[in-house]
Amino acid sequence: MKNIIVTGGAGFIGSNFVHWVVENRPGVHVTVLDKLTYAGNLENLAGVPDDRMDFVRGDICDAGLVDGLFAGADAVVHFAAESHNDNSIADPAPFVRTNVEGTFTLLEAARRHDVRFHHISTDEVYGDLALDDPARFTEETPYRPSSPYSSTKASSDLLVRAWVRTYGVRATISNCSNNYGPRQHIEKFIPRQITNVLCGIRPKLYGDGRNVRDWIHTEDHSSAVWAILEGGRIGETYLIGADGERSNIDVLRAILAEMGKAPDDFDWVRDRPGHDRRYAIDPTKLRRELGWRPAHVDFASGLRDTIAWYRDNRPWWEGAKEATEAKYAKQGQ
């Protein structure tokens, strides 16, 4: 694999993946295709040498553009999406367009040019688990998405499966749990709370704060995606997770402690409609088949580094803070 296209490579996880490939796979050239929506930022790709990457600003729904790019590619790793649940509740239209129609457009080009396709998805397609349920999601768990966001991701997964079976597209799918790390948009839980503290705003916790997310460092997501791209069986789904289950209130208290604040120095706010209770990934298949292991197993130290990144990179997020909080304020969150 010498030439790969990374869609959504200017976003949080996509840009971390591009940096990972450039650092760890010296023979690979990356073409990033990204629309630069509010969530995309070219600065996320700063430091990538010119001879390792081309950047194309464009929409994954633009069939002509996509077709031209796929003609010269060995593989595509598809991260581009509308990615935030709260936004999908306020306005689902761009989610249907980018996540469903965009994935369809890419699959059609992959079919025409016989390009290896890896689709990035989420554990949210499986719905949620009860807090007291010992079960975790596996590749066999039935799809039961709750939000407009997760239902469009589920739709895109189903399109990929159908294009494999019907047209023989050489595709794999990965469903990953909640990522954290540098360059995550400040609308998301962890960076929102860190930047709230840095701005003197009280952090905001939804509902009763007991909802559980299964956290993984974004670099571990990158290494898992590469392992699947190289060694995954065509047509298969792999769940990616790092045994990182934590309640939201525990994560918030860890942030508060690390940033020198009292444990109750936050506001309880209106719950998210349809809020999934718990996500939990069983990553056995990925570990057994591909020998993948996460490198970031110490959440406290990963969180400390993430806090330091936001402290040290204020210009990266400061411009978006006011608008992001104004949007939440309108929703009572």
Q: Which amino acids are annotated catalytic?
A: 123-124, 149
Residue 77 found at the interface with ligand TDX (CB under 6 A)? no
Q: What phi and psi, each to the nearest 5 degrees, are found at residue 308?
A: -60, -40
Query: Per CB under 6 A, which region of 40-48, 52-60, 135-143, 205-213 contacts ligand TDX?
Result: 205-213
Residue 187 Cα distances to 48, 191, 203, 266, 330, angstroms: 26, 7, 12, 17, 14
Residue 88 contact, options ligand TDX, ligand NAD, none, Cβ 5-8 Å cut-off depending on partner type: none
Q: Which residue is at the shortest CB distance from ligand TDX? A: 122
Residue 39 found at the interface with ligand NAD (CB under 6 A)? yes
Question: What is residue 103's three-state secondary structure?
Answer: helix
Residue from 31, 85, 87, 222 touching ligand TDX (CB under 6 A): that is: 85
CB 113 within 8 A of CB 170: no
Contacts of 244 (CB under 8 A, 6+ apart): 177, 178, 214, 215, 216, 299
Helices 218-231 and 12-24: crossing angle in degrees, nearest 10, is: 60
Strands 245-247 and 179-180: unpaired
Residue 153 found at the interface with ligand NAD (CB under 6 A)? yes
Helix (H) or strand (E) holding 216, with range, is strand 216-217
Residue 261 contact, options ligand NAD, ligand TDX, none, Cβ 5-8 Å cut-off depending on partner type: none
Instruction: Say how far apart CA 188 and CA 177 lie, in whole Å.
Output: 14
Within 10 angstroms of residue 96's Cβ, the number of other Cβ atoms is 16
Residue 30 contact, options ligand TDX, ligand NAD, none, Cβ 5-8 Å cut-off depending on partner type: none
Residues 118 to 147 in contact with ligand NAD, rule: CB under 6 A: 120, 122
Instruction: Say how far apart CA 299 and CA 39 lie, in whole Å.
Output: 25
Residue 75 found at the interface with ligand NAD (CB under 6 A)? no
Residue 122 found at the interface with ligand TDX (CB under 6 A)? yes
Residue from 189, 215, 310, 317 touching ligand TDX (CB under 6 A): that is: 189
Instruction: Say how far apart CA 261 and CA 166 lie, in whole Å.
Output: 56
Question: What is residue 280's three-state secondary structure?
Answer: coil
CB of 75 to ligand TDX, least distance (A): 22
Residue 14 contact, options ligand NAD, ligand TDX, none, Cβ 5-8 Å cut-off depending on partner type: ligand NAD
Binding mask 253-282 for ligand TDX (x = CB under 6 A): -------------------x----------
CB of 268 to ligand TDX, least distance (A): 9
CA 218 from centre of chain:
8
Q: Which stretches of the chain bind ligand TDX, using CB under 6 A?
A: 83-85, 122, 124, 178, 188-189, 192, 204-206, 211, 213, 248, 272
Q: Which stretches of the chain bind ligand NAD, using CB under 6 A?
A: 7-8, 10-14, 34-37, 39-40, 59-61, 79-83, 98, 102, 120, 122, 153, 176, 178-179, 185
